[in-house]
Structure 1
Amino acid sequence: MEHVEEIVIVGAGIAGLATALGLHRKGVKSLVLESFPSIRTSGYAIGTWTNAWRALDALGIGNKIREQHILVERFKVFSPSSGAILREAKLEEIEGKTGKIEIRCVRREFLLQTLAQELPKDTIRYSSKVVLIEEEGDLKLLHLADGSVIKTKVLIGGDGINSIVGKYLGMKKPSSTGRLAVRGFAEYPTNHGFKPEFIQINGQGFRVGMSPSTEKSIYWYFGWYSSENGKDESTTKTGELILIKLSNSKAPNEIIEVIQKSEMDQMVPSPLKYRTPFSLLFGNITKRNICVIGDAFHPMTPDLGQGGCIALEDSVILSRCLSEAVHQGKIEEGLEKFAKVRRWRCAKVVLIAYIVEFIYTTKWELVYELLREKVLAGIMAGALLMVANYDCGEV
């Protein structure tokens, strides 16, 4: 008798592995197809906020991740023009409707490995790139690059911003923001000595931030608008370009030190893209027995640090909706329930991130003087905490 998979997840990223683990916790088997020959180690780290920790706890791995990463105790926003602190908050004193605020900077590789280790050994199939999706009755036929074909009753696309599953659903390509970003780690042989603080600077056409991840590593990011025709990016090395932009501001010395300690010759900028809130609200994120999650669903600018967090929310909610649907034999209804829950939440976060990005990276002097530093620093901090103040529930 021909073998048919119950559920196939394309992509062994955060969303894909977390969904597989959520289903496993509910006694539902899935197969994860990953095009790479192993877990991907790129991506450095993700800012893991309260909403993500609630998802990780629901998946049963929260404490394993916590014990390896530093708890951020304070949040600071600096002025790029004066170096003054515009906003400062002690996080232990802030409590929302879902409890205390919790932020840690989690190494992406460690998170993926932890998720993978919790899964049955035969769950992930590496070197399995999907190149074509077809239908055979109620089944989906997945044609792989090696010529093999896998049949499945349910198909989940967790395959990133260029998702082949999203393309099959007819989702529009993500829009460009005109911005570039670089992320990195500064590694120290012993304790780096930095305070457990999340530091951020917004303005003068760029955004930069840093936070300790472990006792020996500091995570940082830098995002900026590409110049006309990308002339400065093509003639200047990325590391040098970042230091030039920072030297023309009043950035704290510790941020410059951390970036200088990173592997500057290996810095490669990535274009930032997002899917519009309108397309999230009205696009085909699910159809019959197929859906998308994570960046395949809602790529967003990193201005709220919520991309990975929202993907973890997706995973818990989809695991809950889909496991119930599998047991009841109502797959389509389960996926529609997931879509209904996630559309407004994801569209709202994408929109807030886009607005924050526009305000803080514009070079309009009037906006900068009258709004950005004097009024909107507090609103920005409030937006960060508001978005993180969400509970996805149990698996």
Structure 2
Amino acid sequence: MESSNENIVIVGGGIAGLSLALALHRLGIRSLVLESSESLRVTGSAFNTWTNGWRALDALGIADSLRSQHYQLFRHIVTSTTSGVVTAKVSYGEHEVRCVKRRVLLETLANELPSNTIRFSSKVVSIQTSGYLKVVHLADGSTFMAKVLIGCEGVNSIVARWLGFNKPSFTKRFGIRGFVQFKENHCLNQEFLQFNGHGYRYGIVPCDATNIYWFFSFSPSNQEEELLQNPMKIKEFVLKNLGQVQDHIKTIFEETKVEDIICSHLRYRPPWEYLWGKISKDNVCVAGDALHPMTPDTGQGACSALEDAIILGKCLSEVFSPRSSKKQDKTKAEEHKRIETSLKKYAKDRKWRAIDLITTAYFVGFIQQSDGKVISLIRDKVMAPFLAKLRLKAAQFDCGSLWT
């Protein structure tokens, strides 16, 4: 069985884990990524990447490559599916917004990393403490001794549980996501189209000239929940509940292959858990969905994971960068203390950002998906532009460059 010592072990090879590994690599720091899957986890279709996400991608040095493969979106249009009337048009102005294909991002990140950075088929089953190190045990019997352990393995993070966080709460809403590729130009404008109806909310976002990402969120009845086990039934359910929309919108859903549709519970971490919970403890911390699982209503899940990577990378560079290492001859105790301090700095930086994003996303989702007559009326007549602008506010964050 394999056993080795590592400075930094990252659990999870998704967006947060690979982005952090690349941030560290840019800073001259080696890390090891333990990914439970046999290959890159490229499911999940696509996701909106807002200005704050592009700032982080610029810091990683891969933004221009991704820009060349994805449309820039220029405005957000909200339509009521009960009346068919447009309720809001919000220009993105100076904001940069693109819908990025998950596969393209993960492959771009992986290709920028040294070949021995990612270890696939590496499921973490337990974590122990041995002196100043964390011992990471894998399902295949292998063990890794880490000076720093970082959980980036999503909403069911074993590292987050080690830190004392509860499992994320279920919102009683489900999210259906789909991805469709047309043989010819789909002819959609470069816009984010959102539709609100009686308890349903869905959106359509072009990635490029032929690829379209869409989502559909709702709170199912017991009978509807049973249908979610059958992909064909899921597609039929979506088509049945599109409301009053034009035929070319329906065609997008009709043309989506069943195998390109996924359905999942929408979960979040209650903001108050951060008031007494610990994002970091000793030489362990979390990032990405392991840190701040949130509903997708502001499109900030992936963007905030990219922010985490840049900020955590800079904090760890204070201990592990070649320049920092040459400055001090540290004892193990001194080094461990510096690690703990750097992670506390990261945790302090991200705590209130996580609270803000989770709260905003939950509020936006609650209002947009409400089935109540009064709230629906207020939403469509008054709040639609305000809710759309909340996304732009969340996207103003600047994580800075890796060297500042």
TM band (smaller chain): over 0.9
Residues in 2 aligned to 1:265 and 1:147: alpha-carbon distance in whole angstroms: 34
1:231 offset after TM fit, Å? 5.3
Task: Give the 3-state SS of the residue equivalent to 1:375 in structure 2.
Answer: helix
Residues in 1 aligned to 2:349 and 2:262: alpha-carbon distance in whole angstroms: 36
1:51-107 deviations in Å (ceiling 9; x for gaps):
00000001111101100111112211111221111111333xx2xxxxx20110000
Q: Does 1:379 align with 2:386?
A: yes
Letter in 1 for 2:25: H
Match for residue 31 of structure 2? Answer: 30
Residues in 2 aligned to 1:277 and 1:231: alpha-carbon distance in whole angstroms: 27
Q: How does 1:113-124 map onto structure 2 within 5 Å?
A: 113-124=107-118
- Between 1:187-196 and 1:8-17, the stretch displaced more is 187-196
Letter in 2 for 1:57: D
The one of 360, 365, 385 equivalent to 1:352 is: 360
Q: Does 1:262 align with 2:256?
A: yes
Match for residue 309 of structure 2? Answer: 315
Match for residue 220 of structure 2? Answer: 226
Q: Does 1:388 align with 2:388?
A: no
Letter in 2 for 1:340: K
Distance 1:109 1:266, change over 3 A: closer
1:214-238 deviations in Å (ceiling 9; x for gaps):
2211111111111146456369811
Residues in 2 aligned to 1:237 and 1:164: alpha-carbon distance in whole angstroms: 33
Corresponding residue pairs, total: 384
TM-score by length of 2: 0.92
Q: Does 1:240 align with 2:236?
A: yes
1:141 offset after TM fit, Å? 0.5
Conservation of the 8 A alpha-carbon contact between 1:8 and 1:156 = yes
Task: Give the 3-state SS of the residue equivalent to 1:269 in structure 2.
Answer: strand
Conservation of the 8 A alpha-carbon contact between 1:176 and 1:274 = yes
Q: Does 1:336 align with 2:330?
A: no
1:280-314 deviations in Å (ceiling 9; x for gaps):
33312110100000011111101111100110011
* Runs (5+) with no aligned partner, structure 1: 95-99
Conservation of the 8 A alpha-carbon contact between 1:226 and 1:233 = no
Conservation of the 8 A alpha-carbon contact between 1:182 and 1:267 = yes
Task: Give the 3-state SS of the residue equivalent to 2:207 in structure 1.
Answer: strand
Letter in 2 for 1:52: G
Residues in 2 aligned to 1:37 and 1:265: alpha-carbon distance in whole angstroms: 20
1:317-359 deviations in Å (ceiling 9; x for gaps):
0001111133374111110000001010111010011011111
Percent sequence identity is 47
1:378 offset after TM fit, Å? 1.2
Residues in 1 aligned to 2:315 and 2:225: alpha-carbon distance in whole angstroms: 49
Distance 1:112 1:268, change over 3 A: closer
Conservation of the 8 A alpha-carbon contact between 1:227 and 1:233 = no
Letter in 2 for 1:218: I
Residues in 2 aligned to 1:217 and 1:269: alpha-carbon distance in whole angstroms: 19
Match for residue 97 of structure 1? Answer: none
Residues in 2 aligned to 1:268 and 1:29: alpha-carbon distance in whole angstroms: 35
Task: Give the 3-state SS of the residue equivalent to 1:358 in structure 2.
Answer: helix
Q: How does 1:146-165 map onto structure 2 within 5 Å?
A: 146-165=140-159
Conservation of the 8 A alpha-carbon contact between 2:155 and 2:168 = yes
Match for residue 200 of structure 1? Answer: 194
- Between 1:223-232 and 1:309-318, the stretch displaced more is 223-232
Residues in 2 aligned to 1:265 and 1:112: alpha-carbon distance in whole angstroms: 20
Match for residue 14 of structure 2? Answer: 13
Conservation of the 8 A alpha-carbon contact between 1:281 and 1:344 = no
1:3 offset after TM fit, Å? 4.5
Distance 1:262 1:229, change over 3 A: closer
1:136-169 deviations in Å (ceiling 9; x for gaps):
0110001111111111100000011100111111
- Between 1:30-39 and 1:281-290, the stretch displaced more is 281-290
- Between 1:260-269 and 1:141-150, the stretch displaced more is 260-269
Conservation of the 8 A alpha-carbon contact between 1:281 and 1:347 = no
Conservation of the 8 A alpha-carbon contact between 2:179 and 2:260 = no
Q: Does 1:184 align with 2:178?
A: yes
Task: Give the 3-state SS of the residue equivalent to 2:381 in structure 1.
Answer: coil
The one of 129, 141, 151 equivalent to 1:135 is: 129
Residues in 1 aligned to 2:383 and 2:59: alpha-carbon distance in whole angstroms: 34
1:243 offset after TM fit, Å? 1.1
Letter in 2 for 1:260: E
CA RMSD, Structure 1 to Structure 2 (Å): 1.6
TM-score by length of 1: 0.94
Letter in 1 for 2:292: H
Letter in 2 for 1:84: V
Letter in 1 for 2:356: K
Residues in 2 aligned to 1:57 and 1:24: alpha-carbon distance in whole angstroms: 15
Conservation of the 8 A alpha-carbon contact between 1:239 and 1:265 = no
Task: Give the 3-state SS of the residue equivalent to 1:318 in structure 2.
Answer: helix
